[in-house]
Amino acid sequence: MGMLDGKVALVTGAGRGIGRGIALLLAREGAAVVVNDLGTALSGEGKDESVAQQVVREIEGFGGRAVANSESVADYGAAGRMVEQAVEAFGRLDVVVNVAGILRDRMIFNMTEEEWQAVLDVHLKGTFNVCKWASVRFREQRWGRIINMSSTSAFGAPGQPNYAAAKAGIIGLTLSCANALSRYNVTANAVLPSGWTRMIDSIPTVRERTLQEYGKLPSELAAGTERDPANVAPLVAFLASDRAQSVNGYLFGAFGYNIALMSQPKVIKTLRADHRWTVEELCEIVPRAFAHEFETITNQTGFSSAIEAIPEGEWIEVMPGVRFWATKLEPYGELTW
Ligand SMILES: NC(=O)c1ccc[n+]([C@@H]2O[C@H](COP(=O)([O-])OP(=O)(O)OC[C@H]3O[C@@H](n4cnc5c(N)ncnc54)[C@H](O)[C@@H]3O)[C@@H](O)[C@H]2O)c1
């Protein structure tokens, strides 16, 4: 008995890396899977149908059920055909996992319009395309699961303005779906994943370090370690299952063996005037009122390193092999002047 017996899932970008691990685990947990992958280079160029077909063969190899799809998620009509393919092959669709992604990293001042658009098209429009078509079915059948890959880069990766904007957009899209579809028993959650894939191979500092230390690329070292992209899959399988019915509209970090619940923006301090502010007043009062936050809130993208830096003594063992940590409830300093 698997956690997903009888369910049908569409996983985009499932031919490699994180998506492949997700497709394999969903199938092992009993789901029939549409394995979508365009089979592109990291930049989004080129196409290779064998990439999706290979994962289908792996799934069939352990007795699972899967079909391949090699169209692009960036194509609105193609996303509709992916959903139809699930229904034609397996009779229904219950789960969509949006993983397909490309990179065109460049500093903002060097970025071309084409580099901007290509990344927005695959990540943000592609996620919309699949959510749109799937949500029509989910609403009719009064059940569904949407699981979208965002990224820590959404919070300000400096060399990735296109990718950061797309991944932040995916958070907004996911939360909108969560609020709109909960009445139909549909949940939508976003995952900020990690894993040493070819995407990580493309980060010069990480590539150079592992090449120097081990003579191998990060993606060649990942299997079976905390960096294995397949480590993201169990969280996704949980979110796809009946057991996660009440988990809706959250952001999760899957950082190595950490499953982190991320906070979402909230008002942490406010200054309220009885009149429209003057600029002079703001020059005087804003630095004073928010000084603590200006010092402590930075545009964090290094959540994994932040977890690594948590002192040993702050972890609580909650079951054998599992430790828990929670931020202090009031991390925002004194409320007095
Ligand atoms: N690897 C990480 O540490 C990391 C961190 C944060 C977020 N992510 C996100 O996780 C997802 C998977 O990343 P990965 O590292 O496994 O990358 P990957 O390059 O190994 O896999 C991505 C797959 O998507 C496919 N793809 C690209 N464009 C497509 C399109 N238009 N239609 C269909 N398929 C397409 C590619 O062919 C590739 O097989 C991406 O959305 C990425 O942004 C990854």
SS3 318: strand
Q: Which two tokens stand for residue 31?
A: 């789901």
Q: Is the pLDDT of residue 298 over 80?
A: no
Is 263 a catalytic site residue? Answer: no
Whose alpha carbon is nearest atom 18 of ligand 1? 17
Q: Is the pLDDT of residue 236 over 80?
A: yes
Which is nearest to 264 in space by CA: 279, 253, 272? 253
pLDDT average, residue stretch 22-28: 98
pLDDT at 260: 96
Catalytic residue among 125, 150, 163, 250: 163
Q: For ligand 1, is residue 82 a contact (CB within 6 Å)?
A: no
**Sign of the C-alpha dihedral computed for residues 264, 270, 273 and 279 taken in this order:** negative
Active-site hit among 151, 153, 194, 219: 151
Give the 3-state secondary structure of residue 254. strand
Nearest CA among 143, 246, 126 for reference residue 189: 246
- Does 248 sit in the ligand 1 pocket, CB within 6 Å? no
Q: Which of 50, 72, 98, 99 to mutate to test the pocket of ligand 1 (most atoms within 8 A of CB)?
A: 99
**pLDDT single digits (tens) 165-218:** 999 999 999 999 999 999 999 999 999 999 999 999 999 999 999 999 999 999
- Where do the domains of the chain lie? 8-261, 266-337
* Mean pLDDT on 229-243: 98
Residue 127 has pLDDT above 60, yes or no: yes
- CATH label, 8-261, candidates 3.40.50.300, 3.40.50.720, 3.40.640.10, 3.90.1660.10: 3.40.50.720
Does residue 197's CB lie within 6 angstroms of at least one atom of ligand 1?
Answer: yes
Residue 62 to residue 6: CA distance in whole angstroms: 17
DSSP line for 2-41 = -TTTT-EEEETTTTSHHHHHHHHHHHHTT-EEEEE-----
253 in ligand 1 pocket by Cβ < 6 Å? no
The mean of the pLDDT values for the chain is 95
- For the question of residue 76 being annotated catalytic, the response is no
What would you report as the CA-atom Rg of the chain, rounded to the nearest whole angstrom?
Answer: 21
For residues 303-319, give the mean pLDDT: 91
User: How much of the chain exceeds pLDDT 90, in percent?
Assistant: 91
Q: What is the pTM of this model?
A: 0.96
Q: pLDDT tens, 243-265?
A: 999 999 999 999 999 999 999 99
Q: Band of the pLDDT at 328, cuts 50, 70, 90? A: confident
93 pLDDT more than 90: yes
pLDDT of residue 1: 84
Residue nearest (by alpha carbon) to ligand 1 atom 13: 18
Closest CA to 250 of 304, 181, 175: 175
Pocket test for ligand 1, best of 199, 201, 210 (most atoms within 8 A of CB): 199
pLDDT at site 337: 56
